[in-house]
Structure 1
Amino acid sequence: MKKLTILFSIAICLFATSCDEGFDEINTNKVDPTSLAPSFVLNKAIISTTYLDGGSTLGMLTYHFPIVQQIVTPYGSSLSGGNYDQINNSNTDRVWTNFYRNVVKQLVAVLDQTKGDPKQSNIYNQARIWKAYTFMILTDTYGDIPYFEAGQGFTTEIITPKYDKQEAIYKDILKELDEATAALTTAQAAVTTDILYGGNVDKWKKLGNSFLLRAAMRLSKVDPATAQTFVKKAVSGGVFQSNADNSIIRHTAIYNNYIANHLAAREKTNFYLAAPFVNFLKENNDPRLPVFAVRYVGAKGGPEQNAARASSDPKVQVGMPMGYNDVSISTTFATNGVVSLWDYSQVNLSTVLKLDAPEFHITYAQVQLLLAEAAFRGWVSGTAAEYFAKGIRANMEQMAAYGANAAIPEAAIKAYLDTHPLTAGKELEQINTQYWVAAFLDGNEAWANFRRSGFPALKKNPYPGSEIKGDFIRRLPYPDSELTVNVGSVNEAISRQGPNDLDTRVWWDKKL
């Protein structure tokens, strides 16, 4: 019996050994990756800055666009925000949620993987440039935020990062853009999988310097000396020289422009071009108006917003006035010559908001207009008038990126420029009002530059239920999630910056 037990034990061991042979190989998934190249993760971060789905765009649709009075909805509830000058916690956190949970996390991962690796120095510095751009959007939206310790929950287990002063954040953003752009080298092989420029380092250098110009101009009110220093660095380093340099995310019928996706489907009947924007374009005979606008003339309901009623004729465009809800808006119909709220002009879904329409992070037109202001201030050589005209022309020529039916003829561009020169005494207003147009559909940038410059000279939203003390929303409050998981850091930031509401100004938004 003892012998049988020994033999049985030996057999079990032999069987177990034979079962272990090839175990690791059989149970290793050779298809799904366990890690990604940093260049691919950087691409994902870049894509994520234009939002991951239609719902994420509600931050811009309900706050950024109505604050600068370009797009507005009369509806409340889940769509309330800048249209009523009220807090809607479900939408004030959209920028935070997307950028912190996605973009920042991805960029920190790229930086950790590439830092100190000479063979990946370009990817490392490109990630630094994109991180600076990402944090500009975050801090412009909320003010003091986690910056130096942000995105390190996985790598260093910092799960309650401290909130840094916006002044310190901006000084580091300027430093990072300056250093990272200068460090890019053509000596390395091009990273051809680069989603922006296909590995073209010269274009990345122009991008870095163009972001540096934008970041420097943000300080024009609060720290003009630093602004001037870094504007000069950006220009000497080389900024965008044409529309071919624009930073673009391209879309397809499968990978959609998500603002377009949202406004073509779920929110199709809810959002309209605001009267101040339409009126400015219409009164100035701006050839961009038919590219931006469509009106379903005489529509009395959503089903009647169809192709048969669609018109982009500038003469028939009517922007929705600010300050009304879906009930009180009916009092405006007779005055404006519309039959219903569905009869007001909307964003054109066959041009700028086709499902495959591109989205822009920063453009040659914007760069030229920033240089126009810098020249007016005496910070760069050249005349403000020349930069101003180049900026307008560039934005009008940029319309061709939305398709042949959006291209503006040369004769129309020239006619507009001939009748809209830069006028002495009105330089800052004209330059920044044109920037407002050039930043259309980039809500983050349009709102930031409006606060910085004070232009265009918009009138206060007259909605009677406004929750703000001032004329315009100056920042968005921190998300409720932060008040739950990082309340100590949040409270410290609030005690330093001011109340966690829509009125508190961020550091660079100095009241003059």
Structure 2
Amino acid sequence: MKNKLLILGAVLAFSFGGCTSNFDDVNSNDTALSDKDLEQDFNNVKAPLRAMQRAMYILVEDDWRGQIQFNLNADIFSGYMATPTAFEGNNNNSTYVLLDGWNSAEWENAYRREMVNALKVERLVKEKGPKYYAWALILKVYAMHKVTDYHGPIVYSAFGSEAATVPYDSQKAVYDQFFTELKTAVDILTPFATADVKSTFFVDAKDGTDGTTAKGVVVNWIKFANSLRLRLAMRISNIDPAKAKAEAEGAVKGFGTINSNAENVFYLADHPVKTYSDEWKDIKAGAALTSMMNGYDDPRRGRYFTKTATGTYQGIRMGSLVNDDYKTAKEKQFSRIGDIVLSSGQIPWFTAAEASFLKAEGAIKGWDMGGGTAQSFYEDGISLSFAQNGAGIATSYINNDVLLPENFVDPLNAANNIVAQNLVTVKWSDAASNEVKLQKIITQKWIAGFPDGQEGWAETRRTGYPKLFLPTNNFSSGKIPDGTFVRRLNFPVQEKNSNPAGYAQGVQELGGADNGGTKLWWDTGVNKF
């Protein structure tokens, strides 16, 4: 486990409604053995920690839930992918009819599998085995920042309460707790990273080590926590610049962030998109990404997507009124998801490329990113992504000041055609405004971030970049105003039923209607430098 997260088994399956209902039942037994049976060598926390890792994406044992957890919402909203399937007669997330039956999956999965197990680890070993508690904190923040960035206010600090009403935390309060928890985890792990600490848990023999020393592994967990702290700091940079600066500068100190592809954090498993793309044929390339990569003549295209029958890379525009031609009769006119997702056997959690782009943005804001300039971080991010994806040397791509994204043409329906929106070249220019520099940084960060649509969607909302294609059809009945993008997912219906007073408070904290047009706390619409 030197530079990757490994599959460690132990799958949890609970019957779970609202985020805190039946808490005692779902928290009572994670494995077939009791806590007493497993106490030796902290085995009693290994199962819940392994389950937390595995539950970040709902995998093959429950594919359809994974599809609605992230693929038919964030992956589409990010512009990375699109569906050729006319779900609900084309009245679905793609056309901004937000389906409650789909969009609660991330919430349900996170509370059932992440929060329950994080609380169990805390209760078992917070004092007796602090490094395990630290790991649980990192995993919890990684999982739950996706939930709050989907919905806004969430149940967090009061999770586990048996009160009739469980209060929501504002998104600001949730982020403040995230930062505290990540710093706590790093503080706990730092002594282990600076000493020759023995461990039989952080290291697995599969990674080629002897399974006896946790030294290198603990450092990499610290770098993962710091990188996540940097991501979250940047997320709040437009709403709370002072807090963002302090957290970002703190993240790059000490052991710092992930800096090389050897330190990238992956979960080793077949990506569930493999099922959605190849077996079910429910997902294809997104028009926004193929337009961008085709225009830039990006060599990563061949890893991200397959070629069509005509030898091109062709996406589908969000909001298209698709029919059987898109999925069956003429489906080969559109690109499927490529080998970097389907055949790599790994799901990316955090990469050096993302860390470098975050530092580039920090640099144009005047933050101390530990050395380097905005340009050097920006160009390093592109180079790291090329290397990660086996796309060769990035020099000519980085220095191209001519190519622009191409216009989108739908081979089956001209009503979906649209001119290119994100009209910036790749090459860096110190003479450009900070806004243009940011557009370049986020554009390349967005391209490098594929296939993580959850992060891609969050960053396009925060910055407005890259400029994506609006959906061809918006059937939201005005809840998401024409000319705007979806900003969030509704709170789950079961929360209205199982925790009505808490839900009402959550809507109040949201500061707007519980629909897809209401912006989250950090989504200000104005970039600050």
Equivalent of 2:305 in 293, 297, 302: 293
Q: State the partner residue of 1:352.
A: 341
* Residues 49 and 134, structure 1, Cα contact 8 Å, conserved in 2: yes
Unaligned 5+ runs, structure 1: 1-30, 299-312, 400-406
Q: State the partner residue of 2:21.
A: none
Equivalent of 2:495 in 468, 482, 503: 482
| Residues 133-187 of structure 1, C-alpha deviations (whole Å, 9 max, x = no match) | 222111111100100012x1xxx53564211111111111111112221221324
Q: TM-score, normalised by structure 1?
A: 0.80
* Structure 1: distance between partners of 2:518 and 2:32: 48
1:339 deviates by: 8.2
* Residues 62 and 80, structure 1, Cα contact 8 Å, conserved in 2: no
* Residues 75 and 325, structure 1, Cα contact 8 Å, conserved in 2: no
Structure 1 169/442 Cα, relative in aligned 2: closer, same or farther at 3 Å? Answer: same
1:328 deviates by: 10
Which stretch has the larger CA shift, 68-77 or 276-285? 68-77
* Residues 464 and 525, structure 2, Cα contact 8 Å, conserved in 1: no
* Residues 39 and 193, structure 1, Cα contact 8 Å, conserved in 2: no
Q: Name the SS for the 1:295 alignment partner.
A: coil
1:40 deviates by: 3.2
2:273 pairs with 1:259: yes
Letter in 1 for 2:495: E
| Residues 106-130 of structure 1, C-alpha deviations (whole Å, 9 max, x = no match) | 111111111111xx11111111122
Structure 1 182/39 Cα, relative in aligned 2: closer, same or farther at 3 Å? Answer: same
Q: State the partner residue of 2:381.
A: 391
* Structure 2: distance between partners of 1:323 and 1:218: 27
Q: State the partner residue of 2:391.
A: 408
Q: State the partner residue of 2:77.
A: 67
Letter in 2 for 1:263: S
Q: State the partner residue of 1:225.
A: 242
Q: Name the SS for the 2:307 alignment partner.
A: strand
| Residues 182-228 of structure 1, C-alpha deviations (whole Å, 9 max, x = no match) | 22132442343557997411111111111110111111110011100
* Structure 2: distance between partners of 1:436 and 1:444: 11
* Structure 2: distance between partners of 1:130 and 1:66: 25
* Structure 1: distance between partners of 2:224 and 2:382: 20
Q: State the partner residue of 1:246.
A: 264
2:428 pairs with 1:422: yes
2:152 pairs with 1:134: no
Equivalent of 1:180 in 178, 185, 188: 185
Which structure 2 residues correspond to residues 60-139 of structure 1 after superposition, within 5 A?
60-77=70-87, 81-117=92-128, 120-139=129-148
1:375 deviates by: 0.5
1:351 deviates by: 3.4
* Residues 142 and 477, structure 1, Cα contact 8 Å, conserved in 2: yes
Which structure 2 residues correspond to residues 161-172 of structure 1 after superposition, within 5 A?
161-172=166-177
* Structure 2: distance between partners of 1:486 and 1:418: 55
* Structure 2: distance between partners of 1:386 and 1:102: 40
| Residues 362-407 of structure 1, C-alpha deviations (whole Å, 9 max, x = no match) | 11110000000001111024211100011111111111xxxxxxx2
Q: State the partner residue of 1:501.
A: 515
* Structure 2: distance between partners of 1:192 and 1:383: 39
* Structure 2: distance between partners of 1:50 and 1:89: 19
* Structure 2: distance between partners of 1:283 and 1:159: 55
Q: Name the SS for the 1:54 alignment partner.
A: helix
| Residues 458-490 of structure 1, C-alpha deviations (whole Å, 9 max, x = no match) | 132121524421511111011111111011100
Structure 1 194/88 Cα, relative in aligned 2: closer, same or farther at 3 Å? Answer: farther
* Structure 1: distance between partners of 2:295 and 2:251: 35
Which stretch has the larger CA shift, 73-82 or 46-55? 73-82
* Residues 99 and 138, structure 1, Cα contact 8 Å, conserved in 2: yes
Which stretch has the larger CA shift, 200-209 or 177-186? 177-186
| Residues 411-463 of structure 1, C-alpha deviations (whole Å, 9 max, x = no match) | xx222123232232321001001111122121211111111111101132121
* Structure 1: distance between partners of 2:165 and 2:382: 45
Letter in 2 for 1:175: T
Q: Name the SS for the 2:341 alignment partner.
A: coil
Q: State the partner residue of 1:33.
A: 33
Equivalent of 1:279 in 275, 288, 291: 291
Q: Name the SS for the 1:379 alignment partner.
A: coil
1:263 deviates by: 2.4
Structure 1 97/121 Cα, relative in aligned 2: closer, same or farther at 3 Å? Answer: same
Q: State the partner residue of 1:22.
A: none
1:80 deviates by: 5.2
Counting matched residue pairs gives 437
Letter in 1 for 2:472: P
Structure 1 486/446 Cα, relative in aligned 2: closer, same or farther at 3 Å? Answer: same
Structure 1 483/352 Cα, relative in aligned 2: closer, same or farther at 3 Å? Answer: same
* Residues 43 and 194, structure 1, Cα contact 8 Å, conserved in 2: no
Q: State the partner residue of 1:50.
A: 57
Q: State the partner residue of 2:11.
A: none
Q: Which has the higher contact order (CA 8 A, sep 6+)?
A: 2
* Structure 1: distance between partners of 2:319 and 2:501: 37
2:362 pairs with 1:374: yes
Equivalent of 2:455 in 428, 441, 445: 445
Q: Name the SS for the 1:503 alignment partner.
A: coil
Unaligned 5+ runs, structure 2: 1-30, 401-425
Letter in 1 for 2:335: S
Which stretch has the larger CA shift, 496-505 or 366-375? 496-505
* Structure 2: distance between partners of 1:339 and 1:68: 27
* Residues 77 and 453, structure 2, Cα contact 8 Å, conserved in 1: no
* Structure 2: distance between partners of 1:194 and 1:98: 27
Letter in 1 for 2:330: S
* Structure 2: distance between partners of 1:32 and 1:318: 49
Q: State the partner residue of 1:207.
A: 224
The structure richer in helix per residue is 1
Identity of aligned residues (%): 27
* Structure 2: distance between partners of 1:159 and 1:450: 38
Q: TM-score, normalised by structure 2?
A: 0.78
| Residues 322-362 of structure 1, C-alpha deviations (whole Å, 9 max, x = no match) | 331124988xx9xxxx98344211211x33212x5210111
Is the radius of gyration larger for structure 1 or structure 2? 1
* Residues 216 and 231, structure 1, Cα contact 8 Å, conserved in 2: yes
Structure 1 222/191 Cα, relative in aligned 2: closer, same or farther at 3 Å? Answer: farther
